[in-house]
Structure 1
């Protein structure tokens, strides 16, 4: 049953009025007990009442204003409201849908058996741990169009009710947010403050750093303490946050490995993480054009997983085209998907094995064929 908004508004006004001890006089014990009983019944009848309000993540004001609630509207009623807000807020907006993530990875991410397996296990394990020792740090690598940004979206969609629109998901793009090398020190300070402020607001914040291969070397080291094994730094715990780095760096090593397997007549599904992880971390660490060049994040083993995204083949481009048709509400047409896939540029030039841009141009190409 859908609750009526006026009731929700009145309840919220009652809660907010407890924020100041001068707002109303303390309520007598007998009245408070009666109100608490009525409120408990109301919340049981309308369990989704707070969906009418803004996205929340056990904000600090709930904890800070417990005393104000108790003093302002009475001990029993104040504690009832406090406990309900504190216990019901975060799970409503932030909770991993592990089944949903698995289904999305299986049905929407094509040609990335290694990445799918790592992402599912890493995110599921982290989110199910009530007391992680450090934040989850994932570094996604591969050529453009292979699915790095898309995977970040899938993670957000299955962790946050609002997905990428969540106020707890933050995206940094190197060329937009950190364009000038001359302002590196200013960027370091700003980045630290941004992350500290957002984690203070919500422990389960997620930070996505796009275009790491274009980031100024040394900048990302400014947040190294936040990714380390610390209980708290200046009273703030970063252990429940998620950091995702996206980069084209290392793409050459990944592609060469995939090409070697193809030349040897081996199936790409035979490629395993151990075939790429060490090679990838070294390639990124020693790439002077990468924001992870000689970074302490790698040197101190703070990156939990280097996730390789393999170059996509013709069959994967076909799958991307079919999936895009479904998104647009069209009946999947194998003939159209085949035409789109054939129109993509592949390499090596003679063999035409891998798509140069992955699935990046599929959306625009479909406009022509549909």
Structure 2
């Protein structure tokens, strides 16, 4: 067993209390530790090209054939990830901030990215997902969460420089906890002692969804939905950031660490149909157009009378 593995084991022991409720029994804690051990040491063999190999064409194909209704997000993500993974000496980590309504594909696209970088995809031991409400539920324990989170990031960064860290629910995370992530987003920081220049940080957030939805609806009413571009949101999002409506993002922006802003749009009926078709194909089911239409029609849409966009589809 290498020194890096021993170091990571210690970090796992210290971190396990973050991943279980403080009232959990020793048995439950041991169970969580066992799953962490299995994920970290059994899923992948080594941090090398055998287990980590970027497939640019695969990502392009997946974004085109599996992610629907996101004509703004797809090219931004493809360009950002491709450029970063093809750079052997990036100046700083890749930070993607995915904003938009619930159910528009933010988690899904994170999986697509992982699937085209790691041999085991999102199941790789080099992919780490933190959900704010699950892993950091108690306000009184924020300082403890912050410490353990930093230890976890440091341990996994030491184990593999090409790690991917996904933070789900950034808009629900406490500011002090977000501050704990900041040192790892810089090109190099003496406090963390390890360079994370080749790591990928993906922040998922519903913050700004009202602005995104409102602007998308205005373009739809004018018959110009496909003309909707990221620049149409930049002014309003910037104002919201300055007014602290998107507080967590504003704290990163002020430190010039916000990364690449990627807006996710609400889905229209035809996009829901495409999603349903893809889901049936992936499960090896024969397409039933009546069933697809019924499923899509049964969803809730808004506004009430125009029914332009679905309230939710992707999970």
Give the TM-score band, short-chain normalised: 0.7 to 0.9
Alignment partner of 1:137 is 2:95: yes
1:272 and 2:229 correspond: yes
CA distance in 1, matches of 2:57, 2:249: 36
CA shift at 1:236, angstroms?
A: 1.1
Equivalent residue runs for 1:94-105 within 5 Å: 94-105=52-63
| In 2, Cα distance between equivalents of 1:156 and 1:127 | 12
Q: Give deviations 1:187-235, integer Å, cap 9, x for gaps.
A: 1111111101100000000000001122112311112111012276554
Cα RMSD between the aligned structures? Answer: 2.0
What is the TM-score normalised by the length of structure 2?
0.83
Please state if 1:334 is matched with 2:289: yes
In 2, Cα distance between equivalents of 1:91 and 1:292: 35
Q: Give 3-state SS (helix, strand or coil) of 2:265's partner.
A: coil
Distance 2:186 2:202 in 1: 15
Kept in 2, the 8 Å contact 1:203–1:238? The answer is yes
In structure 1, distance between residues paired with 2:159 and 2:171: 29
Aligned length: 276
Higher relative contact order (CA 8 A, sep 6+): 2
What stretches of structure 2 of length at least 5 have no aligned partner? Answer: 3-41
User: Is contact 1:285–1:293 with CA below 8 Å preserved after alignment?
Assistant: no
1:298 counterpart = 2:256: no
Where structure 1 has 5 or more consecutive residues not aligned to the other structure, the ranges are 1-14, 17-52, 59-89, 361-370
SS of the residue corresponding to residue 292 of structure 1 reads: helix
Cα distance in 1 between the residues matched to 2:287 and 2:46: 40
1:38-69, Cα deviation, whole Å (9 max, x unpaired):
xxxxxxxxxxxxxxx962444xxxxxxxxxxx
Task: Tell me, in whole angstroms, the C-alpha distance in 1 between the residues paired with 2:290 and 2:197.
Answer: 49
Which of 302, 305, 310 is matched with 1:355 structurally? 310
Contact 2:54 2:118 in 1 (8 A): yes
Q: Quick one: distance in 2 between partners of 1:260 and 1:343?
A: 24
Following TM superposition, by how much is the alpha carbon of 1:293 offset from its aligned partner in structure 2, in angstroms?
5.5
- Distance, in Å, in 2 between the alignment partners of 1:165 and 1:119 is 21
- Rg (Cα) greater in structure: 1
- Which residue is equivalent to 1:123? 81
